[in-house]
């Protein structure tokens, strides 16, 4: 082995603490890339594979009733590759063990089994058999939530007739990766579920024998979705078509896509932040490490080693850390990714979850971090290598010996000698002190970023389910009811307050932009449902016009004062024009609100209600549920707590996993940074401290000099870290503006506190390690050799 | 001892420290001939190390010209200076400057590995009387022993030019003589042009030529009639 290589190995061994710390920083960077990217790609590929294998449709449409013969006309639309006609109906279910009524969406499937669009994947049990009208396949999410198994029975009210259904299979479908009912924001798998049932049983039960009320279309490659939608709408107009829509308006798909997109943003922004921080930290660490070796560099150059040789030698040091770190990071990242993948498998209900740890992702992760590290190392090495050897052989000249302003004040002179020395030392090299502070504040910042997600999700949950939604139960009718229905609701047991609302499904159009939403008519002065902006201020409902969620306004590109075309998708499908009266910075959902009376005028209808928000006396909840179950007009009742659970089980859960990973990584990076800063300070000043010891300073006094300095730098890093962390969170929040939710910019005291605790703990542990070294400082050896 | 290998004309070196200018060398003219043994004397701060550094291609003059054979050393081309040092020069530094993480042998090997026709590191160390300490790290050696390792490192590549900054500063009489013998032998056997800085005027006796510096100038040049062998020196 060449002497230079040997020096590399020995130096690495000598600096192993620091080298490990650097490797850990790199590992965390790489692991972040690998975990998030592999997570994202696995999810995306699983989704794509699922959609293909189970032929998820491209265009969907519900209608009142059309003869089966119309199927051919649909298939004849240019660009349509396949058509599936179905009977779909929602019914009230009586689920064993569930107090409240549940809603079942009955979806027809062929018996015996035949290939269909939106095909069902059987998890357990068997397919329904022809001639047995009571057999159903239940969706897995619904079955799991209610503890239902193959062989269990359910009660259902089919068009007023009570019927018993028997579960013969448990299945999933690409159409219902998420099962979200109507206007709800999140899945409530206990109270809403899909049941697949024979067309032969469902058709007659809903008076749709030889007819259908729902169709799905698959597009041929290259077909234009909007053209097909327009043609389908024209075709189905006579049959009470409720407006065809593409995948982006299909609830399960858009919810899932949002989640996957979230993962992608997460997998881009977070690694970028982490790698950026890691590269910068590496630069600081290596620059100082190299600087402590400037005399050795001079010797190498004096004997004829070219700058390139010397540069490569030090780059080798960085590379060794990067390679070890990358390997560790790849292993760690893959391990996390597979753990996350197992969680996804439960969570997303795909038939097979692809675990896609492509070599490319790992290579990219390692490559990007290596590049970042080398960039950091290069800039550090270049400066020193460029010095002429004669100059490098002298110790770095002190920047300035002049007494600064502070040193001429009386306050300064009153300081104890040790503090004055600390101050001198910091003031003499302000750039180095500033870099140290910046490095540690970045560590604080990523801790804050990691924990920020917890804050945002907490806030989101509290905001939506405490401040916006304040009802206990939401009741929804099958069809709008006349005004007297509100008295019936108020008369129900346990109902303390009932606020009726009117909701119509509608397609909002502005120019070529359009979106399907639920248009809510809310009573003025509603207490149980409030429209709040992001700061929690109530947005008043104007007497005329609609208030839109900011995100919806952005999608439609409208501002207050603009006219919207509203195509109502029920009851004769009127098309009206509505002025945008206001924008609300709501955090969850894409909503459009109007004053209930304005909505009635829009619909040219009298006072009527689609449902009501109820405040309920908890003691009588059971009695209320029994009553609701028995009311044929009630399509479903959801409780706020169930909705909160739906929120926690979806959004919160998937973000939580990542947050845990991130916070761990951030803590490791922070600790590694602080340790490195302290260790380098020790090697930079080892000789000076040893000289002081020789002059009679005690270990304690010497430690105070070094550690005191570190303490001051650490303290200075905290406020700066808070600021940088907050700015990064703001950047994240602005990237996290999804259709289903918007990330609020809230950073809690807890998060700041957590960052400080980690930083201080790391600083104390490092101080202890450094103190041990100071105690063992071999005075003779230090003074004898020039390092 | 004929042709001049080093030629320096009007060499000046000015260091700027803040507002202050330090003139380390002022208008120095100097020639060193092939195989010549030169001793440089002068008070502390008189510019000896500065001059030696410039001759060795470690530094460049502020003004003036200096060359070694066909190599121009004042141009400041890093690559050319590196090649010059690598091919021709052996250094002994005033502060030894050993690599602390390498043993004595490895410190020497560091240089021999990139030399064309070097001595074996063990043999070079044996010549300075450290044959039994070759696997010791600098921190395990005394100051004088470190200095001898530095000398072994300098001679091991059989350089054309040997530049020594106080090579005996930390040595007792006997070891000092031994080290000087090594330098003398290298000079005699290989025809190595040698320049030695020292505060010890009696060493001047073994030189072909003695140069005395003061305040950045050469104030005296003297040629010895006869070179004394190191063993004949007294101090
Ligand atoms: N990098 C530098 N920056 C500023 N001044 C310098 C620098 N290097 C040398 N000097 C100054 O140049 C002058 C000559 O220095 P040099 O090291 O050549 O002296 P010397 O003769 O070798 O002294 P000594 O015998 O003490 O080693 C001194 O005044 C020194 O302070
Ligand atoms: Mg000197």
For residue B95, which residues of chain A lie inside 8 Å, CB to CB?
A: 393, 786
In the reported structure, the alpha carbon of residue A765 is separated from the centroid of ligand 2 by a whole-number distance in angstroms of 44
What integer is the mean pLDDT of A751-778?
87
Domain range enclosing A550: 495-616
Are residue A227 and residue A127 in the same domain, yes or no?
A: yes
Asked whether B22 lines ligand 1 (CB < 6 A), one says: yes
Most confident of A157-161, A406-410, A447-451, A772-776: A447-451
CB atoms within 10 A of CB A388: 18
Question: Tokens standing for A498?
Answer: 């009932």
Residue A214 or A453, more confident = A214
Model pLDDT, residue B174: 85
Model pLDDT, residue A108: 95
Show which of A601, A616, A631 is a domain's final residue.
A616
In the reported structure, the alpha carbon of residue B42 is separated from the centroid of ligand 2 by a whole-number distance in angstroms of 10
B56 touches chain A (CB under 8 A): yes
Question: Exposure pattern of A443-463 as b/e (b: 16+ CB <10 Å)?
Answer: bbbbbbbbbbbbbbbebbbeb
What integer is the mean pLDDT of A489-510?
91
Q: Is residue A722 part of a domain?
A: yes
- pLDDT for residue B124 is more than 90: yes
Are residue A664 and residue A699 in the same domain, yes or no?
A: yes
Reported as type and span, the H/E element at residue B83 is helix B78-88
Model pLDDT, residue B17: 78
Q: Which of A290, A367, A311, A271 is nearest to A18 (CA)?
A: A290
What integer is the mean pLDDT of A636-640?
82
Are residue A595 and residue A654 in the same domain, yes or no?
A: no
Tens of pLDDT along A396-434?
554 455 556 666 777 777 777 777 778 877 877 788 788
Tens of pLDDT along A179-223?
888 767 777 888 899 999 999 989 888 889 999 999 999 999 999
In the reported structure, the alpha carbon of residue B47 is separated from the centroid of ligand 2 by a whole-number distance in angstroms of 7
**What average pLDDT is seen over chain A?**
85
- The Cα–Cα gap between A681 and A672 comes to 14
Tens of pLDDT along A691-733?
777 777 778 888 888 888 888 989 999 999 999 999 999 988 8
- Indicate whether this model's pTM tops 0.95: no
- The Cα–Cα gap between A423 and A442 comes to 23
B58 to A4: CB separation less than 8 angstroms, yes or no: no
- The Cα–Cα gap between A726 and B232 comes to 78
- pLDDT for residue A753 is more than 90: yes
The ligand whose atoms approach the alpha carbon of A393 most closely is 1
CA A767: distance to chain centroid? 37
Are residue A562 and residue A704 in the same domain, yes or no?
A: no
Are residue A143 and residue A246 in the same domain, yes or no?
A: yes
Are residue A573 and residue A509 in the same domain, yes or no?
A: yes
Q: Is residue A440 part of a domain?
A: yes
Q: Which ligand 1 atom sits nearest the alpha carbon of residue B94?
A: 27
Query: Under a CB-based contact definition with an 8 Å cutoff, are residues A647 and A638 in contact?
Result: no
CA torsion through residues A34, A37, A38, A40, sign = positive
- pLDDT for residue A621 is more than 50: yes
**Cα atoms found within 13 Å of the Cα of residue A231, Cβ hemisphere only:** 17
For residue B85, which residues of chain A lie inside 8 Å, CB to CB?
A: 301-304
Question: Residue A538: pLDDT band by 50, 70, 90 thresholds?
Answer: confident
**What average pLDDT is seen over chain B?**
89
Q: Is residue A296 part of a domain?
A: no
ipTM of the prediction = 0.86
Are residue A653 and residue A597 in the same domain, yes or no?
A: no
What integer is the mean pLDDT of B43-63?
91
B95 touches chain A (CB under 8 A): yes
d(CA B136, nearest CA chain A) in Å: 13
Residues of A with a Cβ under 8 Å from any B Cβ are: 2-4, 6-7, 10-11, 14, 295-296, 298-307, 388-391, 393, 397, 400, 781, 784-787
User: So where are chain B's domains?
Assistant: 35-63+77-232
Looking at the DSSP assignment, which residues form a beta bridge with residue A274? Answer: none
Q: Which ligand 1 atom sits nearest the alpha carbon of residue B16?
A: 4
Of A52-61, A80-89, A414-423, where does mean pLDDT reach its minimum?
A414-423
Show which of A250, A281, A312 is a domain's final residue.
A250
Show which of A195, A222, A250 is a domain's final residue.
A250
Share of chain A above pLDDT 90, in %: 29
Model pLDDT, residue A292: 79
Are residue A95 and residue A214 in the same domain, yes or no?
A: yes
Tens of pLDDT along B155-190?
999 999 999 998 887 788 888 888 898 899 889 988
Tens of pLDDT along B220-229?
999 998 888 8
For residue A6, which residues of chain B lie inside 8 Å, CB to CB?
A: 102, 106
What integer is the mean pLDDT of A558-587?
88
Are residue A593 and residue A737 in the same domain, yes or no?
A: no
Q: Which of B52, B29, B50 is nearest to B39 (CA)?
A: B52
Are residue A760 and residue A688 in the same domain, yes or no?
A: yes
The ligand whose atoms approach the alpha carbon of B50 most closely is 1
Most confident of A21-25, A549-553, A615-619, B208-212: B208-212
Model pLDDT, residue A585: 82
Model pLDDT, residue A785: 53
Q: Which ligand 1 atom sits nearest the alpha carbon of residue B25?
A: 14
- pLDDT for residue A745 is more than 60: yes
Are residue A83 and residue A133 in the same domain, yes or no?
A: yes
Question: Residue A520: pLDDT band by 50, 70, 90 thresholds?
Answer: very high
Model pLDDT, residue A787: 41
Asked whether B53 lines ligand 1 (CB < 6 A), one says: no
Neighbours of ion ligand 2 (CB under 5 A): B 49
What integer is the mean pLDDT of A622-630?
83
Q: Return the CATH class of domain B35-63+77-232.
A: alpha beta
B58 to A787: CB separation less than 8 angstroms, yes or no: no
Residue B227: DSSP 8-state: P
- How many A×B Cβ pairs under 8 Å? 93
Pocket-testing residue among A389, A394, A398, A401, ligand 1, by greatest number of atoms within 8 A of Cβ: A394
Model pLDDT, residue B125: 94
For residue B107, which residues of chain A lie inside 8 Å, CB to CB?
A: 3
Q: Is residue A229 part of a domain?
A: yes
Question: Residue A165: pLDDT band by 50, 70, 90 thresholds?
Answer: very high
| Integer angstrom CA distances of residue B34 from A581, B90, B162, B194 | 97, 15, 11, 9
Are residue A443 and residue A503 in the same domain, yes or no?
A: no
For residue A400, which residues of chain B lie inside 8 Å, CB to CB?
A: 18
What integer is the mean pLDDT of B46-50?
92
In the reported structure, the alpha carbon of residue A394 is separated from the centroid of ligand 1 by a whole-number distance in angstroms of 10
């Amino acid at each position: 082995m060449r002497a230079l290589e040997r020096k590399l190995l020995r130096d690495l061994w000598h600096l192993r603490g620091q080298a490990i710390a650097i490797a850990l920083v790199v590992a965390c960077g790489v692991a972040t890339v690998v975990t998030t990217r592999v997570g994202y790609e696995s999810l995306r590929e699983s989704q794509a594979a699922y959609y293909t294998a189970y032929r998820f449709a491209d265009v969907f449409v519900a209608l009142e009733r059309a003869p089966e013969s119309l199927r051919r006309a649909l298939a004849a639309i240019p660009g349509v590759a396949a058509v599936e006609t179905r009977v779909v109906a929602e019914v009230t279910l009586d689920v064993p063990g569930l107090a409240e009524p549940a809603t079942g969406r009955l979806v027809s499937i062929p018996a015996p089994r035949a290939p269909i669009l939106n095909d069902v994947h059987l998890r357990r049990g068997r397919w329904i058999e022809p001639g047995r009208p009571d057999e159903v396949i239940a969706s897995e999410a619904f079955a799991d939530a209610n503890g239902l198994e193959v062989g269990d029975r359910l009660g259902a009210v089919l068009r007023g007739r009570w019927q018993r259904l028997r579960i013969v299979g448990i299945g999933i479908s690409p159409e219902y990766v998420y099962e979200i009912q109507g206007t709800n924001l999140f899945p409530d798998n206990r109270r809403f579920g899909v049941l697949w049932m024979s067309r032969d049983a469902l058709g007659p039960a809903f008076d749709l024998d030889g007819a259908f009320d729902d169709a799905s279309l698959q597009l041929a490659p290259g077909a234009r979705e909007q053209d097909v939608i327009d043609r389908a709408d024209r075709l189905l107009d006579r049959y009470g078509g409720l407006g065809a829509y593409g995948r982006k308006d299909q609830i399960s798909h858009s919810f899932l896509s949002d989640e996957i997109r979230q993962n992608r943003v997460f997998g881009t922004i977070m690694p970028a932040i982490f790698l950026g921080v890691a590269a910068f930290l590496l630069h600081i660490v290596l620059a100082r490490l190299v600087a402590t070796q400037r005399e050795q560099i001079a010797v190498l150059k004096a004997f004829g080693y070219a700058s390139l040789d010397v540069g490569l030698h030090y780059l080798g040091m960085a590379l060794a850390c990067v390679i070890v770190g990358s390997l560790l990071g790849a292993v760690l990242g893959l391990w996390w990714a597979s753990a996350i993948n197992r969680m996804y498998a439960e969570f997303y209900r795909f038939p097979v979850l692809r675990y896609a740890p492509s070599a490319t992702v790992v290579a990219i992760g390692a490559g990007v971090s290596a590049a970042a590290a080398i960039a950091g190392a290069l800039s550090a090495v270049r400066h020193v290598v460029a010095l002429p050897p004669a100059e490098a052989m002298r110790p770095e000249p002190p920047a300035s010996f002049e007494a600064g302003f502070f040193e001429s004040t009386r306050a300064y002179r009153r300081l104890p000698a040790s503090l004055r020395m600390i101050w001198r030392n910091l003031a003499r090299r302000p750039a180095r002190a500033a870099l140290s502070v910046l490095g540690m504040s970045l560590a604080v910042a990523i801790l804050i970023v990691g924990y920020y997600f917890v804050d945002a999700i907490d806030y989101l949950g509290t905001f939506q389910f405490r401040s916006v939604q304040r009802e206990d139960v939401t009741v929804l009718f099958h069809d709008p009811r006349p005004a007297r229905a509100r008295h019936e609701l108020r008369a129900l047991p346990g109902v303390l307050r009932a606020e009726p609302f009117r909701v119509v499904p509608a397609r909002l159009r502005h120019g070529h932009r359009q979106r399907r939403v639920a248009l809510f008519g809310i009573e003025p002065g509603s207490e149980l449902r409030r429209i709040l902006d992001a700061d929690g201020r109530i947005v008043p409902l104007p007497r005329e016009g609609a208030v839109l969620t900011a995100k919806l306004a952005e999608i439609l590109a409208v501002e207050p004062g603009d006219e919207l075309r509203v195509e109502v998708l029920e009851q004769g499908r009127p098309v009206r024009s509505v002025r945008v009266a206001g924008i609300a910075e709501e955090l969850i959902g894409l909503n459009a609100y109007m004053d209930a009376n304005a909505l009635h005028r829009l619909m040219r209808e009298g006072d009527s209600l689609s449902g009501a928000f109820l405040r309920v006396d908890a003691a009588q909840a059971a009695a209320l549920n029994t009553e609701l179950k028995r009311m044929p007009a009630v399509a479903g009742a959801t409780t706020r707590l169930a909705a909160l659970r739906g929120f926690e089980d979806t959004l919160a859960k998937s973000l939580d996993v990542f947050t845990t990973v991130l916070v761990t990584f951030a803590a490791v990076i922070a600790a590694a940074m602080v340790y490195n800063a302290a260790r380098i300070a020790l090697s930079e000043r080892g000789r000076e401290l040893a000289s002081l010891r020789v002059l009679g300073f005690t270990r304690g006094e010497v430690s105070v000099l070094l550690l005191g300095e570190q303490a001051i730098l650490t303290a200075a890093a905290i406020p700066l870290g808070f600021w940088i962390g907050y700015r990064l969170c703001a950047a994240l929040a602005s990237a996290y503006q999804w259709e289903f939710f918007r990330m609020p910019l809230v950073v809690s005291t807890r998060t700041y506190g957590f960052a400080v605790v980690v930083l201080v703990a790391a600083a104390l542990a490092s101080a202890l390690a450094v103190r041990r070294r100071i105690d063992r400082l071999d005075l003779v050896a230090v003074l004898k050799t020039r390092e | 001892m004929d042709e001049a290998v080093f030629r320096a004309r009007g060499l000046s070196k000015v260091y700027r420290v803040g507002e202050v200018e330090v003139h380390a060398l002022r208008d120095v003219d100097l020639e060193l001939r092939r195989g010549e043994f030169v001793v440089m004397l002068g008070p502390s701060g008189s510019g000896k190390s500065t001059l030696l550094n410039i001759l060795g291609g470690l530094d460049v003059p502020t003004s003036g010209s200096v060359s070694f054979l066909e190599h121009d050393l004042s141009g400041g081309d890093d690559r050319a200076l590196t090649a010059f040092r690598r091919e021709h020069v052996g250094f002994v530094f005033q502060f030894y400057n050993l690599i602390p993480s390498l043993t004595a042998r490895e410190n020497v090997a560091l240089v021999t590995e990139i030399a064309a026709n070097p001595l074996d590191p063990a043999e070079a160390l044996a010549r300075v009387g450290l044959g039994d300490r070759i696997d010791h790290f600098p921190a395990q050696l005394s100051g004088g022993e470190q200095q001898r390792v530095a000398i072994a490192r300098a001679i091991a590549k059989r350089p054309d030019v040997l530049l020594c900054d106080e090579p005996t500063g930390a040595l007792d009489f006997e070891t000092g003589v031994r080290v000087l013998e090594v330098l003398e032998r290298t000079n005699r056997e290989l025809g190595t042009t040698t320049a030695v800085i020292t505060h010890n005027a009696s060493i001047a006796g073994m030189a072909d030529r003695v140069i005395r510096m003061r305040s950045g100038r050469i104030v005296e040049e003297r040629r010895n009639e006869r070179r004394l062998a190191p063993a004949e020196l007294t101090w």
